Amino acid sequence: MSDADFLREFDQIDGVKLPEQTLQIVGHEDVFATLKNQLKNNMLPNAILLHGQKGIGKASFAFMFAKLILSKSGNEDINLVNEQIINGAHPNLYILRKTKKDNKSFYSDIRIDEIREFKKTMQKTRGKSAKRICIIDAIDDCNIKSSNALLKILEEPPKDTLFMLISHRPGSLLPTIHSRCISYAFRALNDSHVKQIIAPYIEENEGQKIDIAIKLAKGRARRAIEVLKLNELGLLNELQDWLNLDQKSDFSHLSLAEKITKAKNNEQEFAKDIIIDFIAEEAKKPNDSRVKLASTLKLWEKTKIMFDEAVEYNLDKKQTLIHIFDEIIKIKQI
């Protein structure tokens, strides 16, 4: 297996650095300082759960902290540790993630086979004197069997081993996994941090595109990079503007639904995420109306189901969007 194959992730963006290649912490310095202090005082737990939205830097954070631990506990120069991690060659770092099924596709989840292989590795003598670290990116990708197998390891962790579990949906994890970890919540990045992260991927004369990408990202650097990769942003910007209108008494949503339906698949997926995110944000806003809150939460769940069913049963995408837009208009009028 080549280094490239080892490092490549199932959702890797072409031309974008992997979390392993991260050289600085951006936006999560407070959590890093807390863990660094625990490391200094020899008070690190056996397992930590890093949770928050996808694309805000949790995996990059995990690898940066792993580099610090491996250099401190093994007394190796951090540059050497960094080089080994980038090349997938550090014997004390193990990464659990979806693996390749063949040259073109990955397995849909982290299988129990990966957990068993990891367990065998932990039974061997350490390659170096430093602590051993296991990064699970992401724990959400484990199926029931692999989750239960991992839980058994967490209940009786190997000596001098730190587990860093990354989760985008902590509410879906087994309660027993939660109980074995110390949790750290990661917040969405501010716009300046997003701009700092995406700076290497910005081409000349993209000022307006950058502004749109940052607006659509809502604190997720990965999402901003994905937006920059799109050829056309006008439709997504139009959708964002329509959602943010206070009054929606016209019929502009009908033509908007048609435009989204005719758009490319990646733009359609972005549009879905924007709609779901918008409804979620509406639910978080302070509101005196319990009816509106209940209706918004119900629509949030319903929207996700409707989008999934439209794909699964090949339903009319335009009518699905119109129905969702109609419901958003009703909520705005409460």
Parse the chain into domains and list their residue ranges. Answer: 3-185, 189-229, 232-333
Task: With residue 113 as reference, give the H or E element that holds it.
Answer: helix 112-122
Cα dihedral value 89, 95, 99, 104, nearest 10:
-50
On the question of pLDDT at 232 being above 80, the answer is: no
Asked if residue 3 has pLDDT above 60, the reply is no
Tally the residues of the chain: 334
In the predicted model, what is the mean pLDDT of residues 67-86?
89
Better-scored residue on pLDDT, 173 or 105: 173
Q: Of 59, 22, 45, whose CA–CA distance to 131 is shortest?
A: 45
Spell out the CATH class of 3-185: alpha beta
Strand-by-strand arrangement of the 182-185 sheet: 93-96, 132-137, 161-167, 47-51, 182-185
**What pTM, to 2 d.p., does this model score?**
0.82
Q: Name the band, by pLDDT with cuts 50, 70 and 90, for residue 129.
A: confident
The predicted model gives 21-27 an average pLDDT of: 90
What pLDDT shows up at residue 240?
A: 87
The rounded distance, in Å, linking the Cα atoms of 276 and 168 is 15
Name the pairing type of β-strands 93-96 and 132-137.
parallel
Helix (H) or strand (E) holding 185: strand 182-185
Q: Is the pLDDT of residue 291 over 50?
A: yes
Q: How confident is the model at residue 247 (pLDDT cuts 50, 70, 90)?
A: low
The answer, yes or no, to whether residue 63 has pLDDT greater than 80, is: yes
Structure confidence by residue, pLDDT tens digits, 42-52: 999 999 999 99
Over residues 183-188, mean pLDDT: 96
Listed in sequence order, the residues at least 6 apart from 199 whose beta carbon sits closer than 8 Å to its beta carbon are: none
pLDDT in tens, 81-100: 999 998 888 989 999 999 98
Q: HSE (CB half, 13 Å, CA atoms) of 206?
A: 22
